[in-house]
Structure 1
Amino acid sequence: MSNHVGNQGVLLAALAVVGVASLAATPASAQALDERFWLEGSGYFPGIETKINVSRPGQPGTDIDAENDLGMEDTDTLPAVYAGWRMSPRWILTGEFYALDREANVTLGRTIEFDGSTYPIGVSVDSRIASDVYRATVGYSFIRNDYSELGASIGLHATDFDIELTGEAQIGPAVRQVVTRNRTFLAPMPTIGVYGTYEISPKVILNGRVDFLSLEVDEYGGGITNVQASAAYRFSRNFSAGLAWRYVAYDLQVEKTEYNADIDYNFNGPSIFARISF
């Protein structure tokens, strides 16, 4: 997915939040903001860009493009679950989970150094990159009326990564044997953000949010950006459905005693969702 499309996703959600901010003091009437609990299921259809480098001390790794070098699919369908609780008129607690698991087999078009092993050009390599994403936020709506709100949040965006390569690796000048290299780690990244809601009518609701942060936490460093914009139609008091656009970008560095890992991981694309609320 090109940077141009990714920028469109960021711009769309940013405009949604700004639009809500500009409308937050205007009167209207709708009911969605009185929801106390909600549960949402969605299908997310992103384009994916993945670049990884896993090295050991004294053994530099190759910058690997997972889609081009390893043959990973650059699109997928991700089911996601999102839940929320409005603890008071202004305080909101939310949680979300989604997962991406891709496998591929490719004949290497170039030599790859990965986690201390050399996979030469022309060998067949099986690979797997999996990620389970957990996101939780606590938000406070500092502007709120009957049909709009604007708030700020703090949260945690934690991703459980599993990266594996299997293939014939160079052991000596003339010896090869099948080697599997696997690294798993949970990367917790705190975030800060802004969010907004505006009800165009009792049936049509717009939402936008931006979460981001860049810092170092123990063995982990880098940054994360999560941007979303959505429009929902309320079919009844307790059921709504809609469309959304989402952009998620990781720039993650892992520094451990036995290995280092650099990961650039981007999702960008539309989703559809259905929501039950009370």
Structure 2
Amino acid sequence: MLRKCSLGLLTLVISASLAQAEEYKLNLGLFYANSDSNILVSDTKGGNFPLSFEDDLLLDEKQFLPYFEFTYDFNERHHLYIDWKQLHRTAQTPSLEKAFQIRLDGVDYDVKAGGKLQTTLDVDIMRLGYGYDIWQGTHYSIGATLGLHTMFVKTEFEGTIGICVPDNSSAELCDNAIANPQVIDENFTAPLPNIGVYANYEFYPNWQLMFHAQYFSIKYKDVKGSLKDIKIGVEAKISDNWFLNLAYNYYRVDVDIAETSTQNNQSFKVSDYSIDYSFTGPVFSVGYRF
């Protein structure tokens, strides 16, 4: 299903490139993010709890992010867009308060409380899509979008980490903590197709109010996820080609990858690798039309 959505979106891009372009827009700026991210891990009793990257692992909660957007408008009503946001963070926890267990690539790892742990969480988000103006007027336009959000996520833990081994009663024990530091990491790409709406309204000469909202939820095999992307802002034209943008963006994405095992020709879930990620904050950018 995801492959079909990606191929369909690529077909739109190729088809659009054959049409006569009317306008290109390039937007470069900064996003001040207030981040909230956590991962679902296990405790020593076999239960699950969310581990906060900001509160428990001390990653920066607030920081500036680079922002890039490119838009191609053609045939009056048609638009192609691509944008990119990036959030890379690393922090060291001098004394971990909570012990936790996590399964990566089919292996259960145990992180003890009280030890040092260096954590890296790198998230890159690409938004690619097509928009069409359904209604147009002298000072406004309202349309719909079809797009693809893709998250590129790297999670890395470095410290004294043990490997869990099952005993005869099938309970997970983690008594063989490795004395030497080691690194465990997980990289995955989460493509999430989306649909949305947008609206633009020129409320004063050279001043425009802009809004978009995109949403999607999907479950495919062992992967499920959802996203919400809402942005509202003002664009001011300062010359024939240059403009300024000030907006406020709410973005939230949940990605859940189930780890399964097969025994006696039956598959059953043994754990989840789940990331719940959101950021909210103002966006400031400078743009150029050509």
- Say whether residues 1:204 and 2:207 are aligned partners: yes
Q: What's 1:45 paired with?
A: 32
CA contact 2:200–2:210 (8 Å) conserved in 1: yes
**Residue type of the alignment partner of 2:279:** F
Aligned to 1:23: none
Q: Is the deviation greater in 148-157 or in 86-95?
A: 86-95
| Partners of 2:134 and 2:245 in 1: CA distance | 26
Shift in Å, 1:232: 1.6
Q: Which residue of 2 aligns with 1:64?
A: 51
Unaligned runs of 5+ in 1: 1-33
Following superposition, the deviation at residue 98 of structure 1 comes to 1.4
| Structure 1 residues 206-252: Cα deviation after superposition (integer angstroms, max 9, x where no partner) | 10000001111344212100000111211011100121100000111
List per-residue Cα deviations over 1:33-71 (Å, max 9, x = no partner). Answer: x9711000110001000011267xxx8765211111111
Letter in 1 for 2:254: D
Q: Quote the offset at 1:88 in angstroms.
A: 1.4
1:78 aligns with 2:70: no
Q: Which has the higher contact order (CA 8 A, sep 6+)?
A: 1
Contact 1:35 1:277 in 2 (8 A): no
TM score, norm. by length of structure 2:
0.78
Shift of 1:170: 3.4
Distance in 2 between residues matched to 1:41 and 1:78, nearest whole Å: 11
Aligned partner of 2:285 in structure 1 is: 273
**Deviation of residue 169 (structure 1)?**
1.9
Name the counterpart of 2:102: 114
Whole-Å separation in 2 of the counterparts to 1:61 and 1:117: 14
> What letter matches 1:234 in structure 2?
K
Give the C-alpha shift of residue 175 in structure 1. 4.4
Runs of 4+ with >4 A deviation: 59-62, 256-259
- In structure 2, how many angstroms separate the alpha carbons of the residues matched to 1:174 and 1:113? 13
After superposition, the C-alpha distances for 1:141-189 in whole angstroms (9 at most, x for unaligned) are 1101232100011100000100011111235636433232111010000
Mapped partners of 1:164, 1:69: distance in 2: 15
- 1:181 aligns with one of 184, 207, 210: 184
Are 1:148 and 2:160 counterparts? no
Identity of aligned residues (%): 24
Residue 229 (str. 1) matches residue 232 (str. 2): yes
2:153 & 2:255 partners in 1: Cα distance?
11
CA distance 1:257–1:179, change in 2 (3 Å): farther
Aligned length: 242
Structure (1 or 2) with the greater strand fraction: 2
In structure 2, how many angstroms separate the alpha carbons of the residues matched to 1:50 and 1:175? 27
Q: Given the alignment, which residue of 153, 169, 177 partners 2:161?
A: 169
Structure 1 pair 167–61 and aligned structure 2 pair: CA distance change class (3 A):
farther
In 1, the alpha carbon distance for the partners of 2:177 and 2:194 equals 48
Q: Which amino acid aligns with 1:240?
A: F
The answer for the alignment partner of 1:13 in structure 2 is none
Structure with greater Cα Rg? 2
CA contact (8 A) 2:41 2:51 kept: no
Which AA in structure 2 matches 1:252?
Answer: V
Q: Do the aligned partners of 1:62 and 1:114 also contact (CA within 8 Å) in 2? A: no
Instruction: Tell me the SS of whatever aligns to 1:70.
Output: coil
Q: Matches of 2:62 and 2:192 in 1, distance apart?
A: 25
Q: 1:175 to 1:244 in 2, by over 3 A?
A: closer
Cα separation, 1, equivalents of 2:221 and 2:238: 47
Distance 1:174 1:147 in 2: 68
What is the CA-CA distance between 1:260 and the residue it aligns to? 3.5
Q: Say which SS state the counterpart of residue 37 (structure 1) adopts.
A: strand
